[in-house]
Structure 1
Amino acid sequence: MRRSKFRTPFQIYKAHGLKVAAIATPWKVFQKYLTALPVNNRDGLPSQRELITDLFETNTEAWLIWFDGGRYDYFEELYDEYFTGELSKAWNGDIGYTGDWAVRHLEQDFSGYGLFSSVTLRSARDVDYDGRDHFDVAPRIETEDNSSMKEKLATLGYLEQSGELADTGEEAVNEAVLNHKSDISGGVIRYPKPHPPFDGLEHITSGASKTRETREALISGELTEPELHEAYRSTYRTGFELASQIIPKLDGTVIVTADHGECLDCGQLFHDRYHRPHDHLTHVPWFEVESVKD
């Protein structure tokens, strides 16, 4: 029997076009065309869930600011432009999906605190995590319609939602915090950045097809790895800017963290519920803010 000769993704693309190359190339083969990095897991790091519990149990007033999809190494690179404080690393419990993280980390009794987010938190059981079951304040946050979210945004499943995370709505989160902060002793503030879509690459990093479209762009040369990383870095800055606007108006202890990281170059491009344990996904920042820089 004649055995077929192995061809690289680039050879398939040249012979049959981009679509065939993207479909025909096994993901394990494509992985070696991305930067190979070692795979890690907890590595003796403190549990993020335990740190969150301790934060709210040991402080009279406390705030947890939560970046969606924030890699530790990029946080370490960028935070000094915005804040002073103490940075450490935590293990998120091997979670690669936001809704699963909320169910695992925010199921305690948060009486006296608020939960603020511009998009719903869908769990592994495909139901919306409802902050009203755990927090005293979980307000509806509405913003105007926009291209990536045809319906008005709402917190925690109060309204039906479909599609990718919205491009706008973060400012409404800060407004809701200010409207309610006098009634609570702190809370959890979620910003959907630096989660995809990435700044400048919305056309390929949005929606359910983002992995396939980004992979095709990398294979074809339309997109380079440095360009992908730079777009992620730019999107990360949006989260820092939003946090720097609200932190000076908060009292008590303020921690900035992330639910999970983003892969980009560890074998699967983006985060996912079903992922290989890797420090880019499961090692997250735990940063105690001292001050915001001008």
Structure 2
Amino acid sequence: MATPATPSPAAHARPPLDPAVMLVAPAAAVMIMFFVYPFAYGLLLSFQPAQGGVFENYIHFFQTQDLWKTIGNTMQLALPATLINVGFALAIAYATRVKSPYQRLLSTLLVVPLTLGTVLIAEGMLTYFGPRGWLAQALQWLNLYEGSIRLTHNYWGVLISLVITGFPFAYLLILSYITGIDPALPRAAATLGADGWNRFRYIYLPLLTPGLVMAFCLSFVQAFSVFPSAVLLGSPAGTTRVIAIAAYEAAFEQYDYSLASAVAMIMGLAQLAIVAAALGLRRLFYRGPVTGGKG
């Protein structure tokens, strides 16, 4: 009896084009077109100054006080705004971790600023927080405060704007993490005598650490790139002259695109340094498992 023919190795060979590659290709093309190529082009352009050597733009940035001080001005806005957003978002997300109609209503109200946009929020703040805005008039009408209130065109106006626009993003991100923790874990701890603080400290907080670090990093990057709020609500020539304004002035007022590219590269490095520090602190202090989410 004839033995069945064994299939050739070519019959088991993978198809010439993997379907997974076809699915990834559009996303890879978008990344190259809108992120990789502009970054590479800007990086090369930053080393092509109109005068001087290849590092002239970077030397000029750190030798010019009005330029290098923008890093500190931006940090003084981005770091406090990020800490405030993540801190309040953690507290409110923890209080609303149980699904209920109140949670959905509160989540809807808190994400309204995301639909308004930075410019519209800035315009509303000028009307509400201005020297003759609704807040000042209400306080004077109630005889609570008679002096002038300056919460716009200064540091506080930009900081408040960053909190209003950044808080919903941090809240939704942390809420997605905290609702993914298996509720059986804190219930088991409660049966063993753990009170609310110990349940938060030893169960929720360790499991939330990766999410908190990610929320901090994303919120910081969002706050560090502040531009409309710094112009409309701050003092662009003073304490709120952020690094994004310096890049804009170099590109569209001085028409020095090489210097503007160098400022943008420095801006990216500053953000990357803070993000790397946050991730490093997470690896240093976080030793627990990253399990506990509902499967």
TM-score normalised according to structure 2 size? 0.25
Higher strand share: 1
Point out the structure with max Rg over C-alpha: 2
